[in-house]
């Protein structure tokens, strides 16, 4: 008797599962009587995007930062031996990559802390709210092609929490 009841439960659950799958994504909103589908959800970001374009700012990144060199190596896209990629870590943050080129990368040493000056890097239009928040360093190096203008060994008073001085400026 138990075996027959278990089979009945399994078949019932399977049927319910297939009914849910085959009903599709168009559900009726009971309160409004409107059909909600994927196209209405896609249109909402377009409306907010057009509002943010009105408040866009043509910006550039400037400033400086101190970071510890963790790794120097090749790019592997162009060749396997020329050192032109550098992995850095700022004070108490995650590692990130920069591509300063062969000339600068060959002069850096792993384990040392350097003060890097950033060449003014135009990044195009960003929203006014993002401009007002300031730079989030972890994403800035991933999103923008930041170039190094100059570097030197960092002084001891330049290390620590205030070692990152990157900022957006209006271009």
Residues 125-158: tens digit of each pLDDT:
888 888 888 877 767 888 888 889 999 999 988 8
96-98 and 56-74 strand pairing: unpaired
Residue 155 DSSP symbol: P
Residue 81 DSSP symbol: S
14-23, pLDDT tens digit by residue? 877 776 766 6
Average pLDDT for residues 45-54, to the nearest whole number? 53
Any idea which fold 56-170 has?
OB fold (Dihydrolipoamide Acetyltransferase, E2P) (2.40.50)
Identify any residues that bridge with 54 across adjacent strands, giving them in sequence order.
none
Provide CATH 2.40.50 ranges for the chain.
Answer: 56-170
Dihedral (Cα; 12, 14, 17, 19), 10-degree rounding: -70
Query: pTM for the whole thing?
Result: 0.64
Measured distance CA(18)–CA(11) in Å, rounded? 11
Measured distance CA(49)–CA(113) in Å, rounded? 41
């Amino acid at each position: 008797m138990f075996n027959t009841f278990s089979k009945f439960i399994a078949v019932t659950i399977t049927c319910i599962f297939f009914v849910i799958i085959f009903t599709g994504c168009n559900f009726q909103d009971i309160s409004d009587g409107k059909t909600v589908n994927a196209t209405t959800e896609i249109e909402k970001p377009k409306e907010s995007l057009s509002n943010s374009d009105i408040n866009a700012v043509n910006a550039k990144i400037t400033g400086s930062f101190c970071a510890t060199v963790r790794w120097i190596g090749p790019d592997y896209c162009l060749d396997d031996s020329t050192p032109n990629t550098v992995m850095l870590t700022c004070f108490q943050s995650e590692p990130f990559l920069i591509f300063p080129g062969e000339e600068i990368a060959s002069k850096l040493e792993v384990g040392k802390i350097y003060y890097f000056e950033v060449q003014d890097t135009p990044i195009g239009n960003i929203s006014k709210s993002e401009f007002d928040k300031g730079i989030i360093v972890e994403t800035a190096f991933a999103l923008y092609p930041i170039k190094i203008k100059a570097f030197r060994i960092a002084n001891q008073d330049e290390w620590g929490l205030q070692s990152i001085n990157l900022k957006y400026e209006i271009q």
